[in-house]
Chain A
Amino acid sequence: MIDNAIVFPVVVHLFTAILLLFFWRKTIAQRMISIAGSLLAMLVAIGLFAQVWDGGILTMQAAGWEAPFGISFVADVFSSSMVLLTSFSGLAVSIYSATGIARGRMIYGYFPIFHFLLMGLNGAFLTGDIFNLYVWFEVVIIASFVLMTLGGRKAQIEGSVKYMAMNILASTFFLTGIGILYGITGTLNMADLSLKVAALENRKLVDITAIFFIIGFGIKSAVFPLYFWLPSSYHTPPSAVAAIFGGLLTKVGIYALFRIFTLIFIPDDFIRTLLVFLAIFTILTGTFGAVIKNNIRRMFSYLIVCHIGFMVGGLGMYSEVAITGALFYLFHDIMVKTNIFLIAGLIRKLRGTMNMDKLGGLYAEYPLLSLLMAIVLFSLVGIPPLSGFWPKIHLFEAGFMGGHYALIAALIIGSFATLYVISLMWSKVFWKDRPIIEDEGVLTDDFQPLSKFRKSLLVTPIVFLAVITLYIGLGAENIASVVKHIAREMKDTSPYIEAVLGTNELQ
């Protein structure tokens, strides 16, 4: 079905960003416009998801150029649910930023860039053209460079160099892959590529091209051995920025991996083994990194790496159950990872530090806030019936069915290590008595002096995301039906191809 409504999630953020540029330096107006824009984007995303869920795949051909000649936009259930989750994260971070971002950053264009970033993410989810995907990736990384460096503290600038170098390198690999793919197939439309790549006889060449995409997306989504930029840069920007980065930027790499490797390159044994191998090492290295870190945000950065392995492993096993599990994990992960970085920011506001040795006694002072954080942290661990538990069942089931025992072992180690670091954090940050620090002047409580309204701006987004996480956990049945639908669409891509190219192309 052809419908221009597909581009609304992109357009809403574009216009919000442009509108924000007119209110340069007027931070109160910017905050309100940003929240309103994110709210509107969420409504649009809900509408798009409902439309796709009821009516099937929507397509739009840019400027009426028919596929495969023009640029197609495609919204299937996978794309539209990613757009929906992005809009939830976007709204939460937008509200949080209203108090969590210093005024100095706002007057240099924090909010416009933030909306350009969300626009790029939505575009990447909705495009059906591989070169267009590259362009959206570039939009995302340019916006993220600015958010990363805005403020210009020394640590931040140092982190950005690593972040920037690795992301440019990833884009170059991605571009190289596109070049080769165009050379061997002569098309850029993903649905058309799916047909043409399947018809190629030189499978070795296809595998090599696929590896370029694995490297490109692997760097972006922080897969072993390409993840080292992530833990050395994600702890540096303000927490609101880290939340959107941790929640969405690595996941857009995962989205691209799933899209490319279920539609264009159907993994053969070699690629599957490679992905499972990468997943095992991603989980283990991420785990070991998280265990030794003493700073909350550095620990969370390693947990991102660890949990990326869960999703890549699901893709590597490549059965319907495995993909169901991996996608379920992806949905849960976007919500929870955004939220834990917001929580890290809130802890920093409360105590003035994120070093676990200097923290303590939060539970005694703020019991309700601690309870709220506990829900999110336990969801991350996956204590049943919270959200992290259900995808793992699917992943284990798929692992036993496919005989991937090494991956199962890694999943168990990863899960237990997550439990270990979170309970360590719980006891150090919440239960331990507050340690006596000599120069108290440095560690101030920035939360208490805030007005009630501004406090609620910090807490509301965490509550909002926690409610969604709870829904993913307690309403797992509904989420499971969505991810099963997506997994079926991934296994049988003919509806997607048919929707883009029209029926007569499929013989």
Chain B
Amino acid sequence: MELVLVILIGVLYASGIFMLLRRSMVKLLIGLILLGNGANLLIFLLGGITKGKPPVIDNAAKLFTDIYADPIPQALILTAIVISFGIQSFAIVLLKRVYVLVNSDDLDDLNTPEEEDI
């Protein structure tokens, strides 16, 4: 399981960065989404994966002595997913707006020259 996740994270980061280096705005956005997902999986993996041991204490016991699945990485990922969801939807709307204004998907067309400044 760990090995699969390691490879998956590597692929997500690599493809995310590759997409970021393209000139298309849509690919830029996809790159950011892939990178974000890679980061979430990385937290999940590095938090330590424990199967079938929920962090629930018996009524009888006072202390938790057994190995248990750490809930914090999942809380972190959940927070990160929610945040990136909001940001990505904003980004999609912004890029659509850019497309309407500039009529191009090419990032190099986003340079209004200095003379047009006010």
| Residue in chain B with minimal CB distance to A355 | B117
Q: State the majority secondary structure of interface residues on B.
A: helix
Distance in angstroms between the alpha carbons of A1 and B77 in the assembled complex: 32
Contact indicator A157/B46 (Cβ below 8 Å) = no
Choose one: B72, B80, B91, B94; the contact of A182 (CB below 8 Å): B72
- Nearest-Cβ distance from residue B8 to partner chain A, whole angstroms: 14
Contact indicator A160/B114 (Cβ below 8 Å) = no
Distance in angstroms between the alpha carbons of A209 and B70 in the assembled complex: 21
- Nearest-Cβ distance from residue B91 to partner chain A, whole angstroms: 6
CB-defined contacts of B91 to chain A, threshold 8 Å: 164, 168
Distance in angstroms between the alpha carbons of A482 and B101 in the assembled complex: 49
Choose one: B43, B48, B101, B111; the contact of A175 (CB below 8 Å): B43
Contact indicator B112/A158 (Cβ below 8 Å) = yes
Total A-B contacts with CB atoms under 8 angstroms apart: 108
Report, as a range, how many residues of chain A touch the other chain.
35 or more
Distance in angstroms between the alpha carbons of A64 and B107 in the assembled complex: 49
Distance in angstroms between the alpha carbons of A186 and B83 in the assembled complex: 23
Contact indicator A169/B76 (Cβ below 8 Å) = no
CB-defined contacts of B32 to chain A, threshold 8 Å: 165, 168-169, 172
Q: State the majority secondary structure of interface residues on A.
A: helix
Report, as a range, how many residues of chain B touch the other chain.
35 or more
Contact indicator B98/A142 (Cβ below 8 Å) = no
- Nearest-Cβ distance from residue A160 to partner chain B, whole angstroms: 6
Choose one: B43, B87, B94, B112; the contact of A155 (CB below 8 Å): B112
Contact indicator A158/B76 (Cβ below 8 Å) = no
- Nearest-Cβ distance from residue A233 to partner chain B, whole angstroms: 10
B18 within 8 A of A: no
Distance in angstroms between the alpha carbons of A326 and B52 in the assembled complex: 51
Distance in angstroms between the alpha carbons of A172 and B31 in the assembled complex: 11
Query: Are A158 and B114 also in contact (CB < 8 A) when A169-B35, A179-B46 are?
Result: no
A489 within 8 A of B: no
CB-defined contacts of A180 to chain B, threshold 8 Å: 42, 46
Query: Are A157 and B101 also in contact (CB < 8 A) when A164-B94, A175-B43 are?
Result: yes
Distance in angstroms between the alpha carbons of A235 and B97 in the assembled complex: 20
Distance in angstroms between the alpha carbons of A13 and B108 in the assembled complex: 39
| Residue in chain B with minimal CB distance to A180 | B46
The contact sample of 22 A-B pairs, CB cut-off 8 A, is A142-B87, A145-B87, A149-B97, A154-B101, A154-B102, A157-B97, A157-B102, A165-B20, A168-B32, A169-B32, A169-B35, A172-B32, A175-B36, A179-B42, A179-B43, A184-B46, A186-B70, A297-B117, A298-B114, A348-B118, A353-B118, A354-B117
Known: A155-B117, A293-B114. 16 other contacts (CB 8 A): A131-B79, A134-B80, A138-B83, A138-B87, A152-B97, A158-B111, A161-B98, A165-B20, A168-B87, A179-B46, A180-B42, A180-B46, A182-B73, A183-B45, A298-B117, A353-B118
A: residues with CB less than 8 A from B are: 131, 134-135, 138, 141-142, 145-146, 149, 152, 154-155, 157-158, 160-162, 164-165, 168-169, 172, 175-176, 178-180, 182-184, 186, 188, 232, 235, 293-295, 297-298, 348, 352-355
